[in-house]
Amino acid sequence: MVFSFIVIPLLVAAFLPLIGKFSKKLLPDVLTNAALAYLLFNSILLVKPIFHQGVIVQNLNWLGEKVNLQLALDSFNLFMLFTIALVSLCISLFSIDYLEHYGHKSTFYALFLVMIAGMNGLVLVPDLFSIYLFLEVAAVASYALVAFGLGYDELEASFKYLMLSVVASAFALLSIVIIFGMTGSLNFQAVAQGLQDLEARLVVGVCVAFFIMGFGLKAALVPFHAWLPDAHPSAPAPISAMLSGLLIKVSGIYALFRVIYSVIGITPVLSRLLMALGTVSMVVAALLALGQKDIKRMLAYSSISQVGYIVLGLALGTPLGIAGALFHLFNHAVAKGLLFLNSGSIQHITGTRNLEELGGLGKKVPVTAGTNLVGSLSIAGVPPLAGFWSKLIIIMALIQAREFGYALVAILASILTLWYYLLIQRKAFFGRVADRWLLVKEAPFWMSAANVVLALICILAGIFFSPIFKTWISPAAEALARGVQQVLMWGL
């Protein structure tokens, strides 16, 4: 059951190019969405067992012989799996209409599914080297997807992304190799145990620095962020949504904090360092977003800024901080997915993403404008949308931990966020309709539908955030915090 999260997307991906030979559109659409819907369904089915058992560890037998195929699922993983399945399902729904003019849908879907398989694998494995491998699976697929438009800019962005990403993976791998060299094992628990017995603080410190750089680059933390504003806007809108909404969180934040919480252990030193990094990202990227004219670039910088919030909350390490950060992770995945899809709708409708050229679209395309407003306000943290609660919880956690300075910066950054999202609203949707947009039509059905679904999630998660928080977020945060308790302090 757990294994299907990796195998099903891979299998479907393997067959899609063949299917694409005789069915250009219908079958790939149906198969991909069905596969993702199954994953979503599956992750919901798993809630109950996880709730009762706490952790599911699954071993697989191959032809009667026991092979080392181990997956571990706890509430934190499940939370991530659910988020991935939910957001990617909406994105693939959106792609049904959006990908029409790109052609080669089957290849696109296949790469898309490989990326999801990579992310799911990354989330499920309890082993350092496997993390690296699945990181690469998702990354290789994402290189190709960023360049999917095949323009010069897209290729350049993809190449830059590849080069920086390879550097990051190399450092993460180096760190994994050093840790393997010291402890002789790769399993989280075994490594944590091994590190505890060793007296090698300096070496481990350097390893952690490599992890922070490697995974931090994937998560686009400042100063490792520079690839993102080029790579994310260049990709087709669904892929931008995928990258910003999910990939940076899974291969960056999840990987970094899984390693830190479950292997190395969060210590005051690390906590302080990561909080500083998160805060710098939050502020610098928010300021950068203010100056952008391209909607997607603005959104890309906003992703960096919001990742800063999540890292700040997770690095704080208090139960409330972790819970707030995870909730923000979910909210940001949904809302940023929505906004990138929406920018795709805008591009589809008008043919441009330049804010200066847009104007007054609100009256012509109410669905696009309305969903954009919901997404913007959610990320900007306006009550009663979901983003408000998660930011509030993070800020409250900071105050509770008596980190008043950070709380102050977090609040100020949220004002900046509101500012540039209002800028989008004003320039693109409010005001008089520019003459050239008088004849535009609303986006096609599936595109609007995906937007509406995501917007509804933003609203519902905000209104019913109390039960959601209790059933989803708190257990996930507890699972993470348990990991911390298991990893005894080794003195960093």
Residues 214-253 interacting with another protein (rule: CB under 8 A): 216-217, 223-224, 226-227, 229-230
Closest CA to 479 of 5, 121, 55: 55
Of 408-427, binders to another protein (CB under 8 A) are 408, 411-412, 415-416, 419, 422, 426
- DSSP-derived pairing of the beta strands 56-62 and 65-73: antiparallel
| Neighbouring C-beta atoms of residue 445, cutoff 10 Å | 11
Q: Residues 349, 239: contact at Cβ < 8 Å? A: no
Quick one: 39 or 145, whose CB is closer to another protein?
Answer: 145
Task: Based on the shown chain and the rule CB under 8 A, indicate whether residue 201 belongs to the binding site for another protein.
Answer: yes
How far is residue 458's CA from residue 435's CA, in Å, rounded to a whole number?
33
Binding mask 93-132 for another protein (x = CB under 8 A): ----------xx--xx-xx--xx-xx--x---x-x-xx--
Rounded to the nearest whole angstrom, what is the least distance from the CB of residue 101 to another protein in the complex?
A: 11
Of 10-39, binders to another protein (CB under 8 A) are 10, 13-14, 17
N- to C-terminal Cα distance for the chain?
39
Closest CA to 183 of 263, 270, 265, 262: 263
Strand partners, 58: 71
Rounded to the nearest whole angstrom, what is the least distance from the CB of residue 380 to another protein in the complex?
A: 10
Dihedrals φ, ψ of 5, to 5°? -60, -30
How far is residue 152's CA from residue 436's CA, in Å, rounded to a whole number?
28
Rounded to the nearest whole angstrom, what is the least distance from the CB of residue 62 to another protein in the complex?
A: 7
Q: What is the DSSP letter of 126?
A: -
Rounded to the nearest whole angstrom, what is the least distance from the CB of residue 392 to another protein in the complex?
A: 8
* CA 325 remoteness from chain centre: 12
Rounded to the nearest whole angstrom, what is the least distance from the CB of residue 83 to another protein in the complex?
A: 20
Closest CA to 306 of 350, 385, 226, 248: 248
| Cis peptide, bond prior to residue 223, ω within 30 of zero | yes
Q: Residues 256, 362: contact at Cβ < 8 Å? A: no
Please pick, from the candidates 37, 47, 200, 367, the single residue that binds another protein as defined by CB under 8 A: 200
Please pick, from the candidates 91, 147, 304, 457, the single residue that binds another protein as defined by CB under 8 A: 147
Please pick, from the candidates 162, 255, 454, 473, the single residue that binds another protein as defined by CB under 8 A: 162
Quick one: 140 or 349, whose CB is closer to another protein?
Answer: 140
Please pick, from the candidates 27, 47, 290, 453, the single residue that binds another protein as defined by CB under 8 A: 290
Interface stretch with another protein, choices 25-33, 37-45, 201-209, 233-241 (CB under 8 A) = 201-209
Q: Long-range contacts for 67-73 (Cβ within 8 Å, ≥24 apart)?
A: 69/3, 70/125, 70/126, 70/127, 71/2, 71/3, 71/124, 71/125, 71/126, 72/124, 72/125, 72/126, 73/2, 73/46, 73/124
Dihedrals φ, ψ of 252, to 5°? -100, -75
Of 361-390, binders to another protein (CB under 8 A) are 382-384
Rounded to the nearest whole angstrom, what is the least distance from the CB of residue 191 to another protein in the complex?
A: 12
How far is residue 449's CA from residue 247's CA, in Å, rounded to a whole number?
23
Rounded to the nearest whole angstrom, what is the least distance from the CB of residue 245 to another protein in the complex?
A: 19
How far is residue 69's CA from residue 63's CA, in Å, rounded to a whole number?
13
Rounded to the nearest whole angstrom, what is the least distance from the CB of residue 319 to another protein in the complex?
A: 9
Please pick, from the candidates 312, 320, 322, 413, the single residue that binds another protein as defined by CB under 8 A: 320
Quick one: 7 or 44, whose CB is closer to another protein?
Answer: 7
Rounded to the nearest whole angstrom, what is the least distance from the CB of residue 37 to another protein in the complex?
A: 21
Quick one: 125 or 424, whose CB is closer to another protein?
Answer: 125
Of 255-284, binders to another protein (CB under 8 A) are 269, 272-273, 277, 284
Please pick, from the candidates 39, 288, 325, 365, the single residue that binds another protein as defined by CB under 8 A: 288
Rounded to the nearest whole angstrom, what is the least distance from the CB of residue 144 to another protein in the complex?
A: 3
Quick one: 139 or 349, whose CB is closer to another protein?
Answer: 139
Quick one: 26 or 408, whose CB is closer to another protein?
Answer: 408
The single-letter code of the amino acid at 108 is F
Helix, strand, coil percentages (3-state) for the chain, rounded to 5, are 80, 5, 15
Closest CA to 343 of 382, 297, 302: 297
Please pick, from the candidates 19, 155, 433, 449, the single residue that binds another protein as defined by CB under 8 A: 155
Quick one: 18 or 44, whose CB is closer to another protein?
Answer: 18
Of 45-104, binders to another protein (CB under 8 A) are 62, 67-70, 103-104
Please pick, from the candidates 47, 140, 440, 456, the single residue that binds another protein as defined by CB under 8 A: 140
Quick one: 97 or 136, whose CB is closer to another protein?
Answer: 136
Rounded to the nearest whole angstrom, what is the least distance from the CB of residue 13 to another protein in the complex?
A: 6
Please pick, from the candidates 87, 141, 172, 333, the single residue that binds another protein as defined by CB under 8 A: 141
Q: Count the site residues for another protein by CB under 8 A.
A: 113
Quick one: 349 or 365, whose CB is closer to another protein?
Answer: 365
Q: In the numeric block, which tokens belong to residue 351?
A: 């043919």
Task: Based on the shown chain and the rule CB under 8 A, indicate whether residue 482 belongs to the binding site for another protein.
Answer: no
For 131-169, b/e burial (b = at least 16 CB within 10 A) is: bbebbbbbbbbbbbbbbbbeeeebeebbebbbebbeebb
